[in-house]
Structure 1
């Protein structure tokens, strides 16, 4: 299957998960996220879930309860296709971006550089046995992680968040795709030590 075919199939698989299972999954992932974040230093970056993505609200609350300073992605206003990361607190006012995803209102004093982020929990549409990640197709996280892949951000630890149903044995990937070393699902903390395979 092509990447777009996989994307459609996995989105449908994710959308078919029942509401009770979604709620349970979000709480199961929250505990794993908080535990993992406390093993690293620096800010914890996490996304504000959208559409049928696994609900990250319980995970964010678990990070706050663990006294973890938290940031979330915001579309870069001057550099198309790139992200900034802004501090998130219980009092942060949110607004919807052009994709309909909530994000903090942009304030320069709340921007946190990648060099101060320890764990980066990121969304995905699918992942495979080699840590290859299939996103929504915009390339935002591939661009964000380019410096990490080049060895320039050794403290940064990219970690996917997904339902178990989003796993497949192998995805078709491109040269610019960035494989990630970890994925957290409701039932498992995946760790990938394989070199990515191109198909």
Structure 2
């Protein structure tokens, strides 16, 4: 197994082993950090994710967006382009859990079409690992990288992760990798130069 494979396996396992209490605390701390960010307050259209694989939970983040009258968008995989499109959801859709199950294991909004990522102001992105330069390792499908590479207007890219997912050594950045602008963890907010 190469180094990247080892990092992925190790961090996936660590995420899965978090207790419900640890996840709850992580979400509360990330929620607090998010509510202090100027970019959050000035953004009207916010893209988030539905947690499925041990990522920082997003339920309270999504509810905060609705409370602040933000337009909430969730990702849906477009099978033709293998990119993500962003589906605007209502508070009722969210509360009534009107989602479909994707074969990869996550839930998606039920819709026939979505918006291009260029329409989003602030994008909260899940990840497996991130280094001090904002280089992000995702789950391996490349969906976020492909989607962001095609954006004419780049939304502010805010990674969301547990503290152990911020790693000290530099990750090798490939030409197609789309770096983050900042990273939120339960303990810190990290800013990167794009």
TM-score strictly above 0.5: yes
Residue 131 (structure 2) pairs with residue 124 (structure 1) = no
Q: Shift of residue 35 of structure 1?
A: 4.1
Task: Answer whether contact 1:44 1:69 (CA < 8 A) is retained.
Answer: yes
Alpha-carbon displacement from aligned partner over 1:38-84 (angstroms, at most 9, x marks no partner)? 333331000011121111111111111111110000011432x2111
Aligned residue in 1 for 2:10: 9
Aligned residue in 1 for 2:50: 48
TM-score by length of 2: 0.88
Task: Answer whether contact 1:31 1:62 (CA < 8 A) is retained.
Answer: no
Q: Shift of residue 12 of structure 1?
A: 2.0
What RMSD in Å do the two structures reach over aligned CA positions? 1.8
Q: What SS does the corresponding residue of 2:23 show, helix, strand or coil?
A: helix
Aligned residue in 1 for 2:190: 190
Q: What SS does the corresponding residue of 1:121 show, helix, strand or coil?
A: strand
Unaligned runs of 5+ in 1: none
Aligned residues: 187
Aligned CA distance change for structure 1 residues 87 and 34 (closer, same or farther; 3 Å): farther
Aligned residue in 1 for 2:60: 58
Q: Runs of 4+ in structure 1 displaced over 6 angstroms?
A: none
Unaligned runs of 5+ in 2: none
Aligned CA distance change for structure 1 residues 168 and 133 (closer, same or farther; 3 Å): same
Aligned residue in 2 for 1:173: 173
Alpha-carbon displacement from aligned partner over 1:137-173 (angstroms, at most 9, x marks no partner)? 100000111135xxx314x101100001111112233
TM-score by length of 1: 0.86
Q: What SS does the corresponding residue of 1:178 show, helix, strand or coil?
A: coil
